[in-house]
Every structure is written in structure tokens, then in C-alpha cells.
Amino acid sequence: MSDINRVVLTGRLTKDPELKALPDGTPVLSMRLAFSTRKRDAQGQWGDVSNFVDVSLIGNRADSLSRLLEKGRLIGVDGKLRWREWESQDGTKRSAIDISADNIELLGGRSESGGGFGGSGGGYDGAPKEAPSSAGGPETFEDDIPF
């Protein structure tokens, strides 16, 4: 039997992603994702608990997404858990689990931090479009689809 290593999360970016390159020039996009889980407290009340995980995306899509992603942006991540170990400068062994993304999807519209697609302030803002009035003639709809 083979093991299954699959992670699917949605959350918001905690800061602007960082684009770097491997020695061979392959782009790598690094980001930190915040997501919530529901948990009961000591009094039995439900509340949200914030969780944070590092995510990396390697390849050509990393370069193009680096221009669209910004702090506060809601994204969906599909990938694999990755375990890393290293020795710090003081000699202690350190380890971390992060996500190696296979796919990242842009979700929602503008982030609550006020940015839009690509930081331009434009794009879909999540508000429904007002239907045109039929009094002025046949109905026409904008074909400006936000995705």
C-alpha cells in the first residue's frame, strides 16, 4: 500500500510572497498562509483558532503568480506536506513542515487589505453586478467575467 500525501487548504496570505530562483534559474515563490479551524475553549464555547503554514510553489507559474498575490489575498492551495530538517548556526537541530504546492488558485475578489488583482486596485470586488433595467430596451450583460 502506498502512502497518500495530499493537502488542500484555503486561507489568506500573511505577507507579500517572495520570489527567488534556484541555481538553475527555476522560479520559487515562498509565502505564508493563515487559515482558521474551529475549536471549543475551556468553557465549551466554539471559536476560531488561527493556524499558519509556509507554502512554496516551484516552476513557471510561480513567476506569474508573484505579480498577482499580495498580503491578505484569499487563495486555495493544493499540494503535499514536506518535512525539512537542518542544523542552526548554534548547532541545534531544527525541523519544520511546510507545503510544496502543486496548484494555487486565486479565490474571492479584493482582499480586506484593499488590494485587487495584481495590486492594481481593479478586478472583481466580490459585489454582485446590478442587473440592467429592461425599460431601456433588450437586456445586455457585461461579458467582463472576473475569473
| Chain segment 85-110, per-residue pLDDT in tens | 989 999 999 999 999 999 999 997 65
3-state helix, strand, coil in the chain (%, to 5): 10, 45, 45
Pick the CATH number of 7-136 from 3.30.420.40, 3.10.180.10, 3.40.50.720, 2.40.50.140: 2.40.50.140
Query: What is the residue extent of each domain of the chain?
Result: 7-136
Over pLDDT 70: what percentage of the chain? Answer: 73
User: Which positions ≥6 away from 61 have C-beta within 8 Å?
Assistant: 104
Closest CA to 102 of 79, 122, 131: 79
Query: Would you say 84 and 94 are in contact if contact means Cβ atoms under 8 Å apart?
Result: no
Distance CA 72, CA 114 (A): 9
Quote the pLDDT of residue 110: 54
**How buried is residue 130: exposed, middle or buried, by Cβ count under 10 Å (0-12/13-18/19+)?**
exposed
Quote the pLDDT of residue 41: 87
Instruction: Assess whether pLDDT exceeds 90 at residue 145.
Output: no
The pTM of the full predicted model, rounded to 2 decimals, is 0.67
Cα-trace Rg, the chain: 20
> Which string of b and e fits 59-74 if b means at least 16 CB within 10 Å?
eeebeebbebbbbbbb
